[in-house]
Amino acid sequence: MANIERWRGDARGRSRTSAWRDLVFTVATAPGATVVEQTRASLAQISANLAEAGTDNSRLLSATVYLTDIANKAEMDVEWCDWIRDAANWPQRACVQAALAPGTLVEITVVAVRP
């Protein structure tokens, strides 16, 4: 049986990235004053996490975006679409409104495949 790989994060009790076989799971939040700033920084962190695990955002299967206010979805979408770039690479994605940690306006989780 293949081993599960885990990359530790700053938060106690969880990993920022995990992988099993060719599947990579990662999550990010980031500081910033606005949803745009936090989304941009979170996506940059996800890019770094994916690269460390041997993949990139062109190989996403699924994503979930958590927003403290769903009214901010359009602002987040601009950053998301710029990050994905090619519409051929759009994963399945859900956006939901959720209560997040204080100061966190957006949290993003993705699942990708390694080549």
CATH number at residue 40: 3.30.1330.40
Strands across the sheet containing 23-28: 4-8, 15-20, 23-28, 106-113, 60-67, 92-97
Q: Is the pLDDT of residue 38 over 70?
A: yes
What percent of the chain has pLDDT above 70?
99
Tally of structural domains, the chain: 1
pLDDT of residue 1: 58
Q: Give me the domain span that covers residue 101.
A: 4-113
Flag whether pLDDT at 55 surpasses 70. Answer: yes
Whole-number Cα distances in Å, 48 to 28, 53, 58, 74? 10, 9, 13, 24
pTM above 0.85, yes or no: yes
